Amino acid sequence: MSAAPEALAAAIRKGDTRAVEALLDADPALVNARRPDGSSYVLYAVYCGHARLVNVFKERGRAIDLFEATAAGDAPAVRAFLAADPGAAKTFSPDGFPVLGLAVFFGHATLADLFLAAGADPCAASTNAMRVAPLHSATSRGDAAMVRTLLEKGANPDATQQGGWTVLHNAAAQGNLEVVRLLRAHGADLSARTDDGKTAADLAAERGHAVLAESLRG
């Protein structure tokens, strides 16, 4: 990676709008540049929590793609992509995340509903090392409503991501009683263990959720 992309990445991480503008103005090719994992710097800005930077790229001619529009919560753009190609609901970002997963991770429930209605697979896990499914993302956010929606659409309650963590492990570690209840109601395996041998009950106990831990042991 040359110095310019490295500087752009650093400015984006800091959320430094002026620095990002200056770098893009000095080297217009950076507007469409890609990171080593194939993702764009537009998507990277959203990953870093600075979605406002998306407009900086758009103002300089960047035509955002479906994944960027989804992460940024741009509903009109997403609807336009789906109208042109309903199959786009089943696609994966260059860095390996299902577009449904991006909508869920960033809390865009309306977009998640659009993708599900267009045939997105609620069980689709990322193709990268994280192996994160939409249900993992909803649980990480503590979004019980989305967890319920995904389970009702057929999401696997025992989906396992990197480290052998199931969705129940995540919910138990957070002490999220509502999400745990939903997962158990859909048959989540209480005996599943992480790669280092811990059950959901073990994780709940470690994080100070004693009552929850006890309920997960029986």
Task: Tell me the average pLDDT across 179-193.
Answer: 98
Mean pLDDT within 11-17: 98
Query: Where residue 1 falls among pLDDT bands split at 50, 70, 90?
Result: very low
pLDDT for residue 29 is more than 90: yes
DSSP type of residue 52: G
Confidence of residue 218 (pLDDT cuts 50, 70, 90): low
Angle of CA points 207, 211, 214, to nearest 5°:
95
Q: Are 41 and 15 in contact (CB under 8 A)?
A: no
- Whether residue 125 contacts residue 93, with contact meaning beta carbons closer than 8 Å, is answered with no
The DSSP output letter for 197 is: S
Region 128-148: mean pLDDT is 97
Q: Which residues contact 116 (CB under 8 A, 6 or more apart)?
A: 89, 100, 122, 149, 153
Q: Is the pTM of this model over 0.85?
A: yes
Q: Is the dihedral of CA 202, 203, 204, 210 positive or negative?
A: positive
The domain locations on the chain are 1-63, 65-121, 123-218
**44 alpha carbon, distance to own chain's centre:** 12
Helix (H, G, I), strand (E, B) or coil at 98: strand
Could you confirm whether domain 123-218 is CATH 3.20.20.80? no
In sequence order, the β-bridge partners of residue 165 are 161
Checking if the pLDDT of 2 tops 80, the result is no
Q: pLDDT by residue (tens digit) across 55-87?
A: 999 999 999 999 999 999 999 999 999 999 999
Confirm if 40 and 33 have CB atoms less than 8 A apart.
yes
